Chains A and B, each alone.
Chain A
């Protein structure tokens, strides 16, 4: 896992969810992160697409429900 990508994804996530970066666990998902609801999920996807200049595939949009998955989606597209 590219540590730089992970750091930027965490930053985008913290900004979108309006939470402290330190409060995001490495295995963050809608189950363990209260702010990660469907509304914030959409915002997060749009924010990541803008941050990295990428486009999530349909499967990615529906399946990107954990921090490790998000990082791998970003890495795959870069």
Chain B
């Protein structure tokens, strides 16, 4: 990974920030190269910035001592400070391309005025607080260029004693202690990362993660989410946090080993459960391996696994995901549940500097998926629902540009996969006499679902053999298999045998298609262990293309 370049403009001795910055960067797997501007050379440095090689972030690090005559000068005023900052900020904005981190100021706690009613609204403390508010509004307005590091909040968080160093502050213009600079460094790294956010999805376990206890044992309304009790309040606050993350564009998905009905009963019936069904962009509530569930959700959301964060209480699951999906950031529910709220946000994984077009696109995709699901419940029959989808299927022999996706599907598809034979791209791309590979691509009124089905046939002397027949889980339950099989059989050359031979190879995952071939009218001919072979005349198959699937011309 190339180093992120950080340039620090400063009007005080902030040299100590270098080491904490490098350390904070290391912790996040982000090597940084830090350049310090000249001491109190802010304007000169700023003007020379455009001539310097590209920085990833400019940190404008200012204290009030070197601004508008200094905070303790009798002639200092809030207005003068604002004017000075306005000029500086305008210069920074003009340099254009690089994001700039600004800071608020630590208000002096001792206003050096007697405690009287009249003094409480005057004095430097109040003025600095007001100035800070003005800076916050400014940054909010110009979020396209500026990010904020709120010193007032940072110092309040660890306390002035731990944050400020009056000795070196006065003697050497180095006013901050190491603890404060470490926080400052973490915030700087957070902004560098937020410029290119990677994490988009938060995958959540159910029992002892979204709520306390096991729903299968306690019942859906007895699990702990009640904010008036402990640990219910911890889970309640986590759910509140999750909803806030969701509003900022984070996709929440459920990845839980549970009976699906139990899971939804908690969501729908527990009086304190804040999360609702529509808040989940995808769900895998089943007994399947969670690594596989994450992978299939990534596919469903069309994201890669490195955009996933996974939260679970079970050390075995945590370990499994760490091993199987090294790109996923794995978080474990802490032993002390009062530490659960804030755990996810505290990692700063979902920070972003602004809402990008990509974020909006993700929100739309998610909405579309919700529409698909929600419309399902309002139809009298499944066929009515399927008809409403206005599906269009494009079935044709595989094209060269589809090799990668076809191989991918043979590698990843587990549920609707009759033989679960895995093929590499090379194998799929190879010329094999008599072999025909067909693909199924589907679109519906909500959008394009892409290439979602693969069939591999061998035309042998005595029969046509189905080597592979699979559908992505994205389109299971849409009766596409009928249209797919019939269409490809019609595509066969005239000399092809009329006998069809197809196998079902049982795996831990594909029970749902065990009866597919017999449903299509084929007869069992041999059974050998987990391999069952079916045969039948192509002309006497009992499947037909559903009227609600429109076959589009080979495009």
Tell me if A61 and B167 are in contact (CB < 8 A).
Answer: yes
Q: Is B1 an interface residue (CB 8 A)?
A: no
Q: Is A62 an interface residue (CB 8 A)?
A: yes
Looking at the assembled complex, report how far the CB atom of B97 sits from the nearest CB atom of chain A, in whole angstroms. 31
B168 cross-chain contacts in A, Cβ below 8 A: 42
Looking at the assembled complex, report how far the CB atom of A38 sits from the nearest CB atom of chain B, in whole angstroms. 6
Which residue of B has the minimal Cβ distance to A38? B172
Chain A at the B interface: mostly helix, strand, loop or mixed? helix
Mark contacts of A27-71 with chain B using CB atoms, 8 A cut-off: 1 yes-contact digit, 0 otherwise: 000000000001100110000000000000010011000000000
A43 cross-chain contacts in B, Cβ below 8 A: 16
How distant is the Cα of A49 from the Cα of B16 in the complex, in angstroms? 18
Q: Is B13 an interface residue (CB 8 A)?
A: yes
Tell me if B13 and A38 are in contact (CB < 8 A).
Answer: yes
A58 cross-chain contacts in B, Cβ below 8 A: 167, 171
The A-contacting residues of B in range 1-27, CB under 8 angstroms, are 13, 15-16
Please pick, from B13, B15, B171, the residue contacting A61 in the complex, using a CB distance under 8 A.
B171
The A-contacting residues of B in range 439-490, CB under 8 angstroms, are none
Which residue of A has the minimal Cβ distance to B174? A42
How distant is the Cα of A38 from the Cα of B12 in the complex, in angstroms? 13
Q: How large is the interface on A (under 10, 10 to 19, 20 to 34, 35 or more residues)?
A: under 10
The A-contacting residues of B in range 333-377, CB under 8 angstroms, are none
B174 cross-chain contacts in A, Cβ below 8 A: 39, 42
How distant is the Cα of A62 from the Cα of B167 in the complex, in angstroms? 11
How distant is the Cα of A62 from the Cα of B171 in the complex, in angstroms? 8
B16 cross-chain contacts in A, Cβ below 8 A: 39, 42-43
How distant is the Cα of A43 from the Cα of B171 in the complex, in angstroms? 14
A38 cross-chain contacts in B, Cβ below 8 A: 13, 172
Tell me if B167 and A39 are in contact (CB < 8 A).
Answer: no
A61 cross-chain contacts in B, Cβ below 8 A: 167, 171
Looking at the assembled complex, report how far the CB atom of A76 sits from the nearest CB atom of chain B, in whole angstroms. 19
Looking at the assembled complex, report how far the CB atom of B34 sits from the nearest CB atom of chain A, in whole angstroms. 13
B13 cross-chain contacts in A, Cβ below 8 A: 38-39
How distant is the Cα of A43 from the Cα of B20 in the complex, in angstroms? 14
How distant is the Cα of A37 from the Cα of B171 in the complex, in angstroms? 15
Which residue of A has the minimal Cβ distance to B167? A61
Of B13, B168, B174, most A-chain CB atoms within 10 Å: B168
Tell me if B15 and A39 are in contact (CB < 8 A).
Answer: yes
How distant is the Cα of A43 from the Cα of B165 in the complex, in angstroms? 12
Looking at the assembled complex, report how far the CB atom of B185 sits from the nearest CB atom of chain A, in whole angstroms. 15
How distant is the Cα of A38 from the Cα of B172 in the complex, in angstroms? 8
A62 cross-chain contacts in B, Cβ below 8 A: 171
Residues of chain A having any CB pair with chain B under 8 Å: 38-39, 42-43, 58, 61-62
16 interchain pairs, CB-CB under 8 A: A38-B13, A38-B172, A39-B13, A39-B15, A39-B16, A39-B174, A42-B16, A42-B168, A42-B172, A42-B174, A43-B16, A58-B167, A58-B171, A61-B167, A61-B171, A62-B171
Residues of chain B having any CB pair with chain A under 8 Å: 13, 15-16, 167-168, 171-172, 174
8 closest Cβ pairs, A-B complex? A39-B15, A42-B168, A42-B174, A61-B171, A38-B172, A42-B172, A39-B16, A62-B171
